[in-house]
Structure 1
Amino acid sequence: MKTDLLNQPLTLRNGTVLRNRLAKAAMSETLATYDNRPTPDFVRLYRRWGSSGLGMILTGNVMIDRRALGEPGNVAIEDETDLSVLRQWAQAATEQGTAIWVQLNHPGKQSTKGLNAYNLAPSAVPFREDMAAIFETPREATPSEIQDIIERFGRSAAICKKAGFSGVQIHGAHGYLVSQFLSPHHNRRNDEWGGTSEKRRRFVLAVYAEIRRQVGPDFPVAIKLNSADFQRGGFTEEESLETIRALADAGIDLIEISGGTYEMPAMGGATQEPQKVSTVAREAYFIEFAEKVRAAVKVPLMVTGGFRTAAGMNAALRSGALDVVGLARLLAIDPDAPAALLQGRDSPQQVRPIKTGIKAVDRMGMMEVWWYERQLKRIARGQSPRPNESGLSAFLKSAASSGWGTFRTRRMRA
């Protein structure tokens, strides 16, 4: 089998070169302190991935405001206090020839009860009934709060550049704040930030513009964007294409395609609808949408989700629908998988659905985050992952840890 496509370098529009087409997509690590500072665990984890041969690594979501966390143990970058550890984290990957980009995020309404003093969103839209016990109804953000958030994205990006990271990615997918502004379900405003698809796009374009202003023209800036929310009244493929065209015109360097929200999780292949036979055969969950994007813009595209084999990855690249193959969950159970894939061999591990047997929990897809976080913690501490760890056992331990983490986080800010 030809393996030259995965190994082929990619030059971005600003001249940045990725050494190959294999990337680690973002996964939440929750390895930070309870006051949201990076730890040496990040250095050890990312050094392990950096040694695997990856062309690019995207960090787990880093928060731009420690008052707005998605989970206990998130890193928050608001100032240069942790610059020394951030530099070690960046160097762990770059010293081995791998680019490392920081995924910047604001959770908006997608933060569990009790973690933050309050949650902001474009509009005060509650979660569906079966999730209301876990997620509270957010408060509608004021215009001044929106402007503050935009400026924070830029400030965090500038600090990442100073720390030696190779680029940044705006998290505009999976139902977090940027995604919420784009969605007519979550964004019901009638001011300059909502009311039409064009006004709903203003927030993400303002975030990109502020980041670009603070990092300059040569520092790579990417975005992770939903193909759709898969939610009634939500962000559609047509609106996603319009947003992609606008971002391409604005100068974005790379677009990663994903989909879904906490209420309708598609990012792990966990939608309620069965996957089409053609999707299973082609492996990538979002490749058909990527083909539509490729016909509309020339910006480099990354697709994450569903890839299982070296043959499938090479076939996807050969189709021309994408430029970068994103892997996430596989690298939590086999951190050395890229070395094999780049030689045309498949990993001995296979990603499997993580189920607890508790219907309400399994429907939310939370174990697609929690179970894998446990594996990342093991790798960061020099241990081997446990690919066969029980979903129910992991849920019980993670729920207890999350509850304690929420308590400690609030105490740290008291």
Structure 2
Amino acid sequence: MNRRENNSQNLSYPLELPCGAILKNRIIKSAMSDSLADGEGDPTEAQIRLYERWAEGGAALSIIGEVQGDPRFPEKPGNLVLGKNSDLVKLSSLARRASIEKAHIWPQIGHGGALSYPLISQPKGPSALNLGGLQCAGMSVSDIKKLPDFYIKAAELAKEAGFTGVQVHAGHGFLLSQFLSPLFNRRSDQYGGSIEARCRIVVEIINKIRDVVGPSFPIGIKINSSDQLEGGLTQEDSLEALRILDKTSVDLIEFSGGTYFPGAASSSDSSSEGPYFVDFCQKAQLVTSVPLVATGGFKKRADALDALASGSVDIVGIARAMILNPSLANDWLTNRAGDPVFPRFESPPPGGITAWYTMLLTALGTDDEKSFSLDLTSAIQQYEERDEQRCEKWRRRFRV
């Protein structure tokens, strides 16, 4: 059956990816920076348990956010690292326990670029920048040509450890998103200028990963529908990028939006009602046959059903709602429970909401969410103290 002859209208309908892998239903746990690695790039028991819980809860696929191939450019010191120093035993335990019940588990392989954590990095992006609160050095052509090696090695290790696929992170303002965006990418060589040139390194990375993982191992990608910033990636550019990606062997394309630019509101903190990117995916369906995911704003089961029934998306991506209820997928699949109740925060401080949800993730990983009672200020304090402690461990392990 052509996948768009019946775009499920049913959350339990399986989805076959172009590589032949099967996602058992139409709900994925989208990537979030869980910040639960040990400060040396390896999984903790809490992180392993967290993804096991989402698998138990019915998610067809969980994606581990911000997994680094190059420890010199992390998003945070709580990120996983897939590299030569990685603990394969712990990674294998994570992959095994997170893939029970026929669930998929994919690391989201990324590079912080200009947004690398400055306390353990010297940020470097496609172009040297000094924009408000964002400063970084520019990459040389030699630097760019070395990038695929880190993604390749990370993908090879992921497959060896037993992960069931990988996602390439090209969204939310991190390195590959920076290459796609004219706001960050001001190069005039083969990696800058036209959207084709700005996509070049992304295509090279996908093609080289495919060469090493083989034809049946899923490769996904996450990109912005737009940067939601003046001078950044537009929807028109994103659709052109999609036409280019359609010629690669990518198996699943996830759309989100917004960029973590200093001073700019992230899309995940939006107060908008309903899913954010379904309308864009409707346009995207016209230019690709690759299955599409929209992530952002799915808070109600009815919204997920409507998005699938419209044919705009092939699968829905859920993030914070799955923190509030790690069994949300099973609940929505069986329609046996209501939608999650989202907390409301009055005048939240910058970063407060993200810190609160991240600390709640920690509670989920220790099966202690019922006693979680942090306010935003306390969540920020604990979150920042933990990162500070991990920075020293990161420096010792990776000598940065």
Structure 2 unaligned regions, length at least 5: 1-7
Give the whole-Å Cα distance in 2 for the aligned partners of 1:4 and 1:288.
17
Matched, 1:110 2:146: no
Give the whole-Å Cα distance in 2 for the aligned partners of 1:167 and 1:355.
40
Give the whole-Å Cα distance in 2 for the aligned partners of 1:200 and 1:154.
20
Match of 1:192 in 2: 190
Q: How does 1:13-412 map to 2 (within 5 A)?
A: 13-79=18-84, 81-116=86-121, 118-128=122-132, 132=133, 135=134, 137-263=135-261, 264-270=264-270, 275=272, 280=273, 283-347=274-338, 349-352=340-343, 357-358=348-349, 361=350, 366-384=351-369, 389-412=374-397
Amino acid at match of 2:267: M
SS of 2:286 mapped into structure 1:
helix
- Say whether the 8 Å CA contact 1:375–1:386 is kept in structure 2: no
- Say whether the 8 Å CA contact 2:151–2:209 is kept in structure 1: yes
More deviation, 252-261/75-84 = 75-84
SS of 2:369 mapped into structure 1:
coil
Q: CA RMSD in A?
A: 2.0
- Say whether the 8 Å CA contact 1:93–1:99 is kept in structure 2: yes
- Say whether the 8 Å CA contact 1:333–1:385 is kept in structure 2: no
- Say whether the 8 Å CA contact 1:65–1:76 is kept in structure 2: yes
Give the deviation of 1:234 after TM superposition.
Answer: 0.5
- How big is each residue's C-alpha offset from its partner over 1:28-68, in whole Å with a ceiling of 9 and x where there is no partner? 11111222122222221111111111111111221011111
Give the deviation of 1:24 after TM superposition.
Answer: 0.4
SS of 1:249 mapped into structure 2:
coil
Give the whole-Å Cα distance in 1 for the aligned partners of 2:265 and 2:388.
22
Amino acid at match of 2:268: G
Amino acid at match of 1:404: Q
- Say whether the 8 Å CA contact 2:352–2:377 is kept in structure 1: no
SS of 2:285 mapped into structure 1:
helix
Give the whole-Å Cα distance in 2 for the aligned partners of 1:18 and 1:265.
33
More deviation, 51-60/318-327 = 51-60
Amino acid at match of 1:410: R
Give the whole-Å Cα distance in 2 for the aligned partners of 1:185 and 1:241.
17
Amino acid at match of 2:125: A
**Identical counterparts, % of pairs:** 34
SS of 1:251 mapped into structure 2:
coil
- How big is each residue's C-alpha offset from its partner over 1:68-122, in whole Å with a ceiling of 9 and x where there is no partner? 1110111111137422111111111223211111111101011333221x11100
Residues 1:4 and 1:244: Cα distance change in structure 2 (over 3 Å)? closer
Give the whole-Å Cα distance in 1 for the aligned partners of 2:346 and 2:222.
26
- Say whether the 8 Å CA contact 1:20–1:55 is kept in structure 2: yes
- Say whether the 8 Å CA contact 1:227–1:237 is kept in structure 2: yes
Residues 1:33 and 1:199: Cα distance change in structure 2 (over 3 Å)? same
- Say whether the 8 Å CA contact 1:72–1:402 is kept in structure 2: yes
Amino acid at match of 2:126: P
Give the deviation of 1:353 after TM superposition.
Answer: 5.6
Amino acid at match of 1:35: E
Residues 1:80 and 1:349: Cα distance change in structure 2 (over 3 Å)? same
- Say whether the 8 Å CA contact 2:52–2:100 is kept in structure 1: no
SS of 1:23 mapped into structure 2:
strand
Q: What is the TM-score of this pair, normalised by structure 1?
A: 0.89
Give the deviation of 1:292 after TM superposition.
Answer: 0.4
Give the paired residue count: 390
